[in-house]
Amino acid sequence: MTLDAEFFRRWMAGTAAAVEADADRLTELDSPIGDADHGSNLRRGFAAVAAALEKEPPDTPGGVLALASRQLISTVGGASGPLYGMLLRRTGKTFGDAAQVSVAEFAQALRVGADAVAQLGGAAAGDKTMLDALLPGVEALDAARGEEPRVAFAAARDAAESGALATVPLRARKGRASYLGERSVGHQDPGATSSALLLRALAEAAAG
């Protein structure tokens, strides 16, 4: 399988579809510990991404992610736009002008993107944020980088989904939810959940 611009466009389109399907659930998760707008914000942002990519599809993986980043930053309110925009921008920038990338190169780039998110948000693993799904996904992808894309991306998906579920007993230490203190315990983090959707869409793009 070639990880070219078409693959990355398929990933972004799949993410838009996944967010659209789960937007209400994301907002429901956000209601007790956030501003109750995570789903609606991401729905608007990734719909804009899909429309932009359909109108003027870039011809490199880095170009696809750069365009997606710009759309998210300009259309998504709150912290989600800058964080997801940073993730995709830094991931794509690592590719340079390459016409295609390997799974190993993708794993390295996604780690750069996740590190940029951590720096921007001042968060780390265990803080009950999107990183609690994203970082396990990156680790799993890196560990499976020698496998074929379908296997590697499925491993990343599974790790991210497990990471999102593991946020339920955590106390939030960053973001809006951190203001609730102990009351944030018992709720699944919406950012981790949407990050898991991102990696699920990645696995589906690889599956064809």
**Residue range 138-190, pLDDT digits in tens:** 999 999 999 999 999 999 999 999 999 999 999 888 776 765 778 779 899 99
Looking at domain 3-207, its CATH class is mainly alpha
pLDDT digits (tens, 9 = 90+) for 6-44: 999 999 999 999 999 999 999 999 898 888 899 999 999
DSSP secondary structure letter of residue 75 = H
One-letter amino acid at 86 equals M
pLDDT value at residue 51: 98
pLDDT value at residue 189: 94
Mean pLDDT of all residues in the chain?
A: 94
Mean pLDDT, range 60-86, rounded to an integer: 95
Distance CA 89, CA 82 (A): 10
Half-sphere exposure of 87 toward its Cβ, with a 13 Å CA cutoff?
22
Distances (CA, A) of 5 to 44, 129, 165, 208: 23, 29, 31, 14
- Residue 13 CA, distance from chain mean position: 13
Distance CA 32, CA 34 (A): 6
Distance CA 30, CA 37 (A): 7
The first and second tokens of residue 26, run together, are 């994301």
Tracing tokens 């780039």 back to the chain, one arrives at: 109
Minimum mean pLDDT among 34-38, 45-49, 60-64, 85-89: which range? 34-38
One-letter amino acid at 195 equals S
Global pTM value: 0.94
